[in-house]
Structure 1
Amino acid sequence: MEAAQKEQLIFAAQKSLRIKQRKNFSESRCLNLSAEILTVDSGLKPTFLFDYSLAKAEQIQKYVQEIQKTGLLSQDLHILSIEDNVLIINLNKTIRHLEKVLQENEVPIIDVSMHRASPGLAETRVTKQVKGQVDLILQHLKFQDVQRGKSESGFVSVSEIFSSEWNLCTLFGFLLGFPVSYWFDFNKSFENCLSMTELRVFSVSAFCPRVTENLKHRMYSFSVPEILLLDLQSNIETWNRDLQSDFNKQSAFSELSISTETVCLPAVTL
């Protein structure tokens, strides 16, 4: 990466995302955020959930527009606000991904409600409910895609959608491109039954020479209960093949690495 572009990426984050008098992002944090967005722009994942600061959708819109000026990005990305959460979305990738999920029932839903003795695949009732919610988001994104087609190139669009009936943990699992998604009955409790449960954690990383020279960037991290691993093996293998295929179609990242480890924690936050 050229030094001038590196400085531009750092300046864009520090200029656009600062919250009042709080300390600026560090240089490494700025560059890591650039790599996160490049992952979405490159089609390696459909969506990035912005969790770097309390910046609002309008600030993040300005930030992505500043990043576009550096020449790092090739897509006109979309900013979606869901309650107090902001996602940076590759509309084309996300629309195709959600369509495939709904058509082929590709993403299993794991019920981790607190009342359960152990995690299990969700009932048909839950699956139908979640698919209906995913379809609402899909239709919203399709409309935004049509509206974007009427805008000038380089414009970063923004929209908002939310329903109090949604389990955001579950929907984010779909939007972020995970091969499985967790669900719990939040009308009864926001706690889950994953305490001291063996979880297989999958991590995906790659080098990003367009942003940082020698550091690997982590693109995905998700878990699957060991007790369900065999039931979900086919879904994970399909997800793995699709990721490998997408990786071979881009040039922004190199040396893809997928690793796993088993953990057992006293508490798991979703």
Structure 2
Amino acid sequence: MTTDPIWIIGDLQGCNTPLHQLLHHPDIAQDRNARFWFAGDLVNRGPDSLQTLRTIMALGERATCVLGNHDIHLLAVAAGMKKPGKSDTFHDVLAAPDSAGIIDWLRHRPLLHREHHHILVHAGILAPWSADKAEALAREVEHALRGPRWKTVLERIYGNEPDHWSEQLDEVKRLRVIVNSMTRMRMCRLDGSMEFSHKDAPDGRDGLVPWFDVPGRVLDDHTVVFGHWSTLGLMIRPDAICLDTGCVWGRQLTALRMHDHRLVQVTCPAFRQPKAAE
């Protein structure tokens, strides 16, 4: 384990004031050389997407961020491949004088980060994937988003099908499954295929299970830390940790220190009720 503590922070969704409070909380501020992992969805639905990105960017190499579905949506809108929705609140990012540089910084964030037997990802890891496999697949998406055809990639990765992994998938479908699993997945069928309509907490109905409880999961030697699931909320297990505690919904922003699972939470002001949980 590194001598520098690592604090892992759940979904921000443009809530910069709670982030500022969290970073200056005495328990976190005393870790002077702390590093910060952010579980994706840095922007959207909250009031301060631009300032939230500036706060994180100012941390420099101390910050590691993985892409969430809202971050990818911002990239797609910035690329002209998607239109902003009525509930989107990242217009401040698009209107910023340095918007191009910010978007470039965002599209160079990883989809997955792996360190100290922990995997940081926004949503989850499909059951057939080992840590090595998941990391390699994430690199395929990262390479595509960082390349000269990144706008075209964003135009083609949207969609719910296919809903399962296969080595025989063509390039576009392959990237789509990787992105969907790592940024959108919550529930799966018992065969491991993804189901995207269920956004509530697991209830055992319809033959669905959380992705981390799919039978036969290959990944059993790492702890997967994720967000994306505010209706699940705080969950700490040896194999999976959820840190999305509904900051943008007026609940809490949560940070967890990796080596001892020390928790710090700040209460978030209610901004507005997003129209969808995703």
Between structure 1 and structure 2, the one with the greater Rg is 1
Q: Which has the higher helix share?
A: 1
- Normalized per residue, the structure richer in strand is 1
Structures share fold, TM-score greater than 0.5: no
**Normalised by the shorter chain, which TM-score bucket?**
0.3 to 0.5
